[in-house]
């Protein structure tokens, strides 16, 4: 398994973990209480920033193993990352369209959308971004052996 593949698995874990943790917090404390519940907001921010930091730390991969001739990332890996970027872009775009259509249809009558959804769109965008990149990389490796 290449370092990039390991990173992709970690990204998938972080993304799915964030999604599950945030869903659990929202279910436990109630989605509608987000406006008044400071604890819920704090937990949500900590989960998002924490997940992002864990993911960011793993983003940088050195070209060669320090003190060794072993190559850690090469042209094939870079090509796979380029392919994964397309998966990422499409996944985020599709998730934004789903949010837009769902919220418009749900709140058409009220002519306004609760502010909580701005946070949820941002959080889901972040999670979709991380998961889609990881999935794109893993699919890329599967396709090119």
Residues at the contact surface with other proteins, assessed by CB under 8 A? 1-2, 69-77, 143-145
Nearer Cβ to other proteins (67/145):
145
What distance, in Å, lies between the first and last C-alpha atoms of the chain? 11
Structure token digits, residue 104:
């418009």
Helix 38-59 crosses helix 116-143 at what angle (to 10 degrees)? 30
Nearer Cβ to other proteins (18/80):
80
Look at residues 96, 122, 117, 127 and name the one whose alpha carbon lies nearest to residue 19: 127
Nearer Cβ to other proteins (72/120):
72
Query: What's the min distance (Å) between Cβ of 56 and other proteins?
Result: 23
Query: What's the min distance (Å) between Cβ of 74 and other proteins?
Result: 4
């Amino acid at each position: 398994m290449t370092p990039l593949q390991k990173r992709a698995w970690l990204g998938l874990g972080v993304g799915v973990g964030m999604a599950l943790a945030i869903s659990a917090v929202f279910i436990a404390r109630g989605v509608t209480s987000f406006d008044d519940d400071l604890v819920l907001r704090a937990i949500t921010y900590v989960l998002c920033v924490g997940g992002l930091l864990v993911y960011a730390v793993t983003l940088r991969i050195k070209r060669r193993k320090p003190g060794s001739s072993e190559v850690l990332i090469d042209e094939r890996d870079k090509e796979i990352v380029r392919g994964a970027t397309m998966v990422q872009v499409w996944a985020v775009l599709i998730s934004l369209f789903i949010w837009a259509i769902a919220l418009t249809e749900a709140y058409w009558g009220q002519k306004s959308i609760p502010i909580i959804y701005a946070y949820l769109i941002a959080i889901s965008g972040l999670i979709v971004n991380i998961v889609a990149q990881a999935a794109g990389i893993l699919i890329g490796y599967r396709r090119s052996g």
